[in-house]
Amino acid sequence: MKDWATQPAPTGDIYRHLWLLKTMANAVGVDLTQAMAEGTLGVAEYSQMVTGCRFGGCDKACVLWQAKNQGQANSPPDLCANKEALERLKP
């Protein structure tokens, strides 16, 4: 039997989570590319956001939320690992 306490937490596919992060940002009116160009979002923070999404374990709920909201919402759902960062980046 595997000892799960000694195993690293599984992460999601990086490309899936890049897409989820970008579409979540777009859904709440945040342009991540523009934020990086303006200097309000650094490379390290962007990387942390992707990693947070990968470890969040809520990708299925995220996809459902995005489908329900059709890309138009005032703020990310509470389940979003990047809610605070996305709120800060809103114009």
Per-residue pLDDT of the chain (91 residues; tens, 9 = 90+): 555 555 555 678 889 999 999 999 999 999 999 999 999 999 999 999 999 999 998 889 999 999 998 768 899 999 999 999 999 999 8
Stretch (H or E) spanning 89? helix 83-89
pLDDT at 65: 94
pTM, rounded to two decimals: 0.84
